[in-house]
């Protein structure tokens, strides 16, 4: 689905920014031991289903080949297409699921757990998770206190990309705080360039914007509570976040085409408006912006640059998307592959390939082939317990992931008219109550 489907599709970034070349993998002190003894699965076939196609599929299959060489197993790959649930549903109902499915939303873990379709992780897999991941990542792959999944791939969503020439023309530097971002936007507008190309037609980009501001201004504990609807959307912490966002979307000169133009601009058109068309200065979105920027003719690291999402409060926000591997069959082969994917060994193999970021804290950034991914990987590791998963992907899809409904629609309404914050909060809360009942 939307954001997570595109997650970290940065093959072009890796090639463009590979200033440091590949490094020999090193295993940090305290990282988990290598899983599964060699050649223990001769004659075993494992089917893995995931949404990836193209370069993402090719790179993942390189990881699977390493597992095959290590264990003797044979792994087949099936693409689920854009809608993972639509692919898996009939196979689960027909009693013929793949051994492993890689889910683009944590909410699907709970859904399939409720259907008794998932197999609990073995002690060996859980040990890899405990050794290599923060407790938060383990929780994302769990349902009702039982661990079912391994977060195997991440997308870094706390970035703002900018066109360097636009910043030079306005005499501004990448801002570190929200107030500085507002000041920089005003200076860029005054120089004659609309500061933001907002991808408002793609509602998920607005949820990403809200999540970064909310995590920074309200803090990680409130973020977790709101993601579970343990505090209402009418809470003052939500008011504060929307007020801050209103400082950007409430000024028509800040948005290319004004609010109307922003709401007619989808992703990735918003990126091409910044790079290639040179119509705007910044686009607020994840690391995968770089691929479209490069396709638009911008040289990464020179004309196309990024800065961390500015602090809107006490917390430096790090919001991630990603993919979670779960077992749908209770087989030795399925658990062995999950153990491998959860290990630092498996993560290091994947990290050497373009377009990948690991949430595994024992996968050293030195393994990444490009300076950009090294930096982003270090940001994820350094964020520690403050890092959080995309909130809308944690929500029931009716609220957090449906075009024209829930958060997507109401945040678009907010961009259209940011003056009625309390009204938008009331509507958000009403929709959340429906989704969580």
Each residue of 358-411: pLDDT tens digit?
A: 999 999 999 998 888 888 888 887 777 788 999 998 888 889 988 899 999 999
Please state the φ and ψ torsions of residue 17, each to the nearest 5 degrees.
Answer: -110, 15
Per-residue pLDDT, 100: 98
Q: What is the pTM of this model?
A: 0.79
Given this model, what pLDDT does residue 38 score? Answer: 60
Number of folded domains that form the chain: 2
Q: Are strands 142-143 and 146-147 parallel, antiparallel or unpaired?
A: antiparallel
Distance CA 263, CA 323 (A): 28
Q: Are residues 283 and 183 in the same domain?
A: yes
Residue 180 has pLDDT above 80, yes or no: yes
The answer as to whether 195 is a domain residue is yes
Whether the predicted pLDDT of 243 surpasses 70: yes
Does residue 187 register a pLDDT over 60?
Answer: yes
Band of residue 272 on the pLDDT scale cut at 50, 70, 90: very high
The answer to the question of residue 395 being in a domain is no
Q: Mention every residue, 6+ apart, whose C-beta is less than 8 A from residue 244.
A: 178, 213, 217, 312
Q: How confident is the model at residue 290 (pLDDT cuts 50, 70, 90)?
A: confident
Q: CA 10, CA 289: separation in Å to the nearest integer?
A: 8
Question: Which residues are within 8 A (CB) of 237 and not within 5 positions of it... i.e. 6 or more apart?
Answer: 214, 217, 218, 222, 226, 231
Q: Is the same domain home to 6 and 152? A: yes
Rounded to whole angstroms, the Cα distance separating 362 from 323 reads 18
What digits encode the pLDDT tens for the residues 19-31? 333 333 333 333 4
Which residue, among 299, 296, 347, 293, has the nearest Cα to 322 in the 3D structure? 347
250 & 204 share domain: yes
Closest CA to 198 of 283, 277, 134, 128: 283
* Section 243-250 average pLDDT: 98
Confidence of residue 222 (pLDDT cuts 50, 70, 90): very high
SS3 label, residue 102: strand
Residue 28 belongs to some domain of the structure: no
Predicted confidence at residue 35, as pLDDT, reads 53
Last residue of one domain, picked from the residues 282, 308, 334: 308
Question: Are both 189 and 273 inside the same structural domain?
Answer: yes
* Residue 183 domain-assigned (yes or no): yes
pLDDT of residue 8: 36
- How high does pLDDT run on average in the chain? 89
What CATH number does the domain containing 240 carry?
3.40.190.10
Least confident range of 36-45, 279-288, 323-332, 359-368: 36-45
pLDDT at 74 over 70: yes
- Cα 73 from Cα 88, distance rounded (Å): 23
The stretches of 277-365 forming alpha helices (DSSP H) are 289-295, 332-342, 344-351
pLDDT band at 287 (very low <50, low <70, confident <90, very high): confident
Written as six digits, the tokens of 155 are 């997308």
pLDDT of 260 > 80? The answer is yes
Pull the structure tokens for residue 370.
């490009």
| pLDDT tens-digit series, residues 138-170 | 988 999 999 999 999 988 999 999 999 999 999
pLDDT at 111: 87
Strands 304-308 and 159-163: antiparallel
Distance (Å, rounded) from C-alpha 257 to C-alpha 261?
Answer: 4
CB 388 within 8 A of CB 140: no
Q: Of 279, 308, 337, at which residue does a domain stop?
A: 308
Residue 412 falls inside a structural domain: no
For Cα atoms 416, 417, 419, give the angle at the middle one, nearest 5 degrees.
160
Q: Which of 390, 409, 431 is the last residue of a domain?
A: 390
Which of 250, 256, 311, 282 is closest to 170 using CA atoms? 282
In angstroms, what is the C-alpha Rg of the chain?
21
> Which range in 55-69, 77-91, 177-191, 295-309 is most confidently predicted, on average pLDDT?
177-191
321, 4 contact by CB (below 8 A): yes
147 and 234 share one domain: no
Same domain, residue pair 234 and 340: no
Joined together, the tokens standing for residue 129 give 């998770």
For the segment 93-121, the average pLDDT, to the nearest whole number, is 93
Beta bridge partners, 75, equal 46
* Percent of the chain topping pLDDT 90: 73
Output the six-digit token pair for 46: 């494992």
Q: What residue numbers bound the domain in which 152 lies?
A: 2-19+33-156+321-390
Per-residue pLDDT averaged across 42-61, rounded? 93
Task: Check whether residue 137 and residue 9 sit in a common domain.
Answer: yes
State whether 144 and 163 are in the same domain.
no
Residues with Cβ < 8 Å from 292, sequence gap 6 or more?
A: 268, 271, 272, 275
Domain-located, residue 435: no
SS3 content of the chain, % helix, strand, coil (to 5): 50, 15, 40
Same domain, 331 and 208: no
Residues 147 and 183 in one domain: no
Give residue 376's pLDDT.
87
Quick one: 273 and 347 in the same domain?
Answer: no
Residues 188 and 327 occupy one common structural domain:
no
């Amino acid at each position: 689905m939307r954001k997570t489907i595109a997650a970290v599709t940065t093959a072009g970034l890796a090639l463009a920014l590979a200033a440091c070349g590949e490094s020999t993998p090193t295993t940090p002190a305290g990282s988990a031991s290598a899983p599964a003894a060699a050649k223990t699965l001769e004659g075993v076939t494992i089917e893995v289903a995931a949404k990836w196609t193209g370069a993402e599929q090719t790179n993942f299959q390189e990881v699977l080949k390493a597992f095959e060489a290590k264990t003797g197993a044979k792994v087949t790959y099936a693409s689920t297409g854009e809608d993972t649930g639509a692919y898996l549903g009939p196979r689960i109902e027909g009693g013929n699921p793949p051994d492993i499915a890689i889910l683009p939303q944590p909410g699907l873990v709970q859904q399939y757990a409720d259907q008794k379709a998932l197999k609990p992780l073995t002690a060996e897999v859980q040990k890899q998770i405990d050794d290599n991941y923060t407790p938060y990542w383990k929780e994302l792959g769990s349902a009702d206190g039982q661990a079912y999944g391994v977060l195997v791939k991440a997308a870094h969503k706390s970035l703002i990309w900018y066109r360097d020439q636009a910043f030079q023309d306005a005499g501004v530097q990448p801002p570190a705080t929200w107030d500085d971002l507002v000041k920089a936007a005003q200076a860029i507008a005054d120089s004659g360039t609309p500061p933001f190309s907002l991808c408002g037609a793609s509602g998920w980009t607005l949820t990403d914007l809200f999540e970064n501001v909310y995590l920074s201004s309200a803090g990680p504990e409130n973020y977790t509570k709101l993601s579970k609807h343990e505090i209402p959307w009418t809470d003052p912490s939500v008011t504060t976040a929307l007020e801050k966002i209103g400082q950007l979307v409430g000024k028509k000169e800040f948005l290319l085409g004004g609010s109307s133009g922003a709401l007619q601009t989808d992703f990735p058109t918003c990126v091409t408006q910044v790079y290639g068309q040179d119509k705007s200065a910044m686009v607020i979105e994840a690391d995968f912006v770089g691929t479209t920027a490069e396709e638009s003719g911008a040289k990464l690291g020179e004309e196309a640059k990024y800065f961390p999402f500015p602090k809107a409060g006490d917390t430096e926000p790090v919001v991630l998307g990603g993919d979670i591997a779960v077992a749908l069959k209770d087989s030795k082969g399925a658990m062995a592959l999950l153990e491998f994917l959860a290990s630092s060994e498996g993560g290091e193999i994947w990290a050497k390939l373009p377009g990948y970021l690991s949430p595994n804290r024992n996968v050293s950034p030195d393994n990444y082939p490009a300076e950009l991914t090294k930096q982003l990987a270090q940001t994820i590791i350094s964020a520690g317990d403050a890092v959080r998963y995309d909130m809308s992907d944690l929500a029931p899809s009716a609220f957090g992931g449906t075009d024209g409904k829930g958060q997507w629609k109401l945040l678009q309404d907010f961009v259209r008219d940011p003056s009625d914050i309390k009204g938008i909060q009331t509507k958000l809360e009403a929709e959340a109550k429906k989704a969580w009942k």
